[in-house]
Amino acid sequence: MRFVDEVKINVKAGDGGRGCVSFLREKYVPLGGPDGGDGGDGGDIIFQVDTGLNTLLDFRYKNRYHAPNGMPGLGKDKHGKGGEDLLIDIPPGTLIYDAETDELIADMTTAGQRIVLLKGGRGGRGNARFMTSTNRAPRHAQPGLPGEERTLRLELKLLADVGLVGMPNAGKSTLISVISAARPKIADYPFTTLVPNLGVVKYGGYKSFVVADIPGLIEGASEGYGLGTRFLRHVERTDLFLHLLDIGIEPVATALTNFDMINRELRRHNPELADKTQIVVLTKMDITEAREQAHEVEKALTARGYRVVTISAVTGEGVQELVDLVSRELEVMRSLTATATDVSF
C-alpha cells in the first residue's frame, strides 16, 4: 500500500428538495385547498476517525464527495425524503484545513471521533405552508437551499508514542521489526525506508505503545533534502524519541557530529521537538568496532545529560531492556498527563 499523507478534496453537502405546489382534488372535498408538501433536507458531510486506516491513499482515487440531495415534496402534504448523510472515514491524526484560507478546521485524533463539517441545504416549503385567510390558494413554493461546499486539504500526522530517528541505515527498520509485528523493508543501502512504518510494541501483559519508524534524515532535511520535509511532521505528535546511532563504521567524532546534525534538523523543523525526551540507542553491538567504541560514545553523551542504551537488534542484546525503559518512561509521562488533567478540572 502506498503511503499518502496530504491530499486535496472537494466536498459538497446535499441540496434541499423543492417544495411542492399542489391542490387537493377529491370527489367529496369541494374546497380542498393547497396540499403541497415540503422538500427534504440535503444530507450532511460527516468525517469520522477510523483506526483501521493509516494513510490517505483512498482520497487520491476519489477526490470529490457529494452527499445526496433531499427529495422534492409531494401532494397530499407529503414531505420529501431527506438526503442521507455522507460519512467519510479518515485515519487518526488527520488535520482538516480549508484549502483556500489554510484555516485549521479540525484535528481528528480519537477513535470514533466525528465532526459534521458541512450542513445540507434546508428543504423548500410547499404551498400548503403559504395559505392564509386572504390567500386561500397560494400557487408558489420555495426551492430547496443549496448545501455547503468546500475544498479541503487533509494532512496526516501519524499518532505514535515513540519516534525512531537517526541517519539512514542506523538500524531503525531492523529494531521496529524485532520489537513489533511491523515488517519494513530492510537492506544495506541508504533510504531503505521510503515511508513511515508503525509498529505496536506489547509489554506488561496487555499494555502496549506505538512506535513510528521515520525515514532516515540527512543534513538539510528541514529544508527539503532527502525525505525529511515530507516526513518530519510525523514525529511532532510522539512523546519521546529513540535516537539510533550507528557507531560500527564511523569514528566516534563523526558519530557525534551526525547525532548533533539530526537534532539540529529536528529543531529547525519545529523548535518544540528539541524539548522532547530523547533516549540514545547505540546500535549494532554485534559488530566488533561498535562494541569497542560504545564506551567512549556513551561517556560523551551521558555527560550531555542523555540516557544511553546499547543494543543489537540482530542478536537481541539489550532489546528487552530498551523496551522496559521506554515503557517505564511512557508510564511516567501518562501519569503526569492524567494528573495535570485532573488538576485542570
Q: Which of 94-108, 118-132, 176-190, 268-282 has the lowest mean pLDDT?
A: 176-190
Domain that holds residue 96: 1-156
Same domain, 54 and 179: no
Could you tell me the CATH number of the domain that includes residue 121?
2.70.210.12
Same domain, 112 and 58: yes
Can you give the pLDDT at residue 63? Answer: 92
Grid cell for residue 43:
444530507
Residue percentage of the chain with pLDDT more than 90: 48
Domain C-terminal end among 104, 131, 156: 156
Burial 51-70 (b: 16+ CB within 10 A, else e): eebbbbeebeeeeebbbbbb
User: Angle, nearest 10°, between helix axes 252-269 and 288-303?
Assistant: 50
Pairing of strands 149-156, 114-118: unpaired
Can you give the pLDDT at residue 187? Answer: 42
Q: Give burial (CB, 10 Å; 0-12/13-18/19+) of 261.
A: middle
Residue percentage of the chain with pLDDT more than 70: 86
Same domain, 129 and 205: no
Same domain, 48 and 147: yes
Give the pLDDT confidence of 302-332 residue by residue, as tens digits: 999 999 999 998 899 999 999 999 999 998 8
Q: What is the mean pLDDT of the segment spanning 193-217?
A: 75
Q: What is the mean pLDDT of the segment spanning 5-9?
A: 89
Find, among 107, 110, 143, the residue nearest to 126 by Cα: 143
Can you give the pLDDT at residue 282? Answer: 93
Give the pLDDT confidence of 254-290 residue by residue, as tens digits: 889 989 988 888 888 888 887 889 999 999 999 988 8
Same domain, 171 and 111: no
Residue 125: partners with Cβ closer than 8 Å, 6 or more residues away? 19, 38, 39, 141, 142
Can you give the pLDDT at residue 204? Answer: 77
Can you give the pLDDT at residue 180? Answer: 84
Task: Between 316 and 194, name the one with better pLDDT.
Answer: 316
Same domain, 216 and 288: yes
Same domain, 252 and 276: yes
Could you tell me the CATH number of the domain that includes residue 315?
3.40.50.300
Same domain, 141 and 176: no
Q: Are 40 and 131 in contact (CB under 8 A)?
A: no
User: Rounded to whole angstroms, how far apart are CA atoms 171 and 211?
Assistant: 14
Q: Are 137 and 34 in contact (CB under 8 A)?
A: yes
pTM of the entire predicted model: 0.72
Look over the chain and give the mean of its residue pLDDT values, rounded to a whole number. 85
Same domain, 40 and 149: yes
**What total number of domains does the chain contain?**
2
23 backbone dihedrals φ, ψ, rounded to 5°: -130, 135
Same domain, 149 and 179: no
Residue 9 pLDDT exceeds 60: yes
Task: Between 343 and 73, name the one with better pLDDT.
Answer: 73
* DSSP per-residue string spanning 130-176: G--SS-SS----PPPPPPPEEEEEEEE----SEEEEESTTSSHHHHH
Residue 222 pLDDT exceeds 50: no
Can you give the pLDDT at residue 337? Answer: 67
Same domain, 1 and 82: yes
Domain C-terminal end among 108, 125, 156: 156
Find, among 234, 253, 249, the residue nearest to 169 by Cα: 249
CA 120 vs. chain centroid, Å, equals 25
Can you give the pLDDT at residue 33? Answer: 87
Residue 245 pLDDT exceeds 60: yes
Q: How many CB atoms lie within 10 A of CB 333?
A: 14
SS3 46: strand
Domain C-terminal end among 110, 137, 156: 156
Same domain, 52 and 138: yes
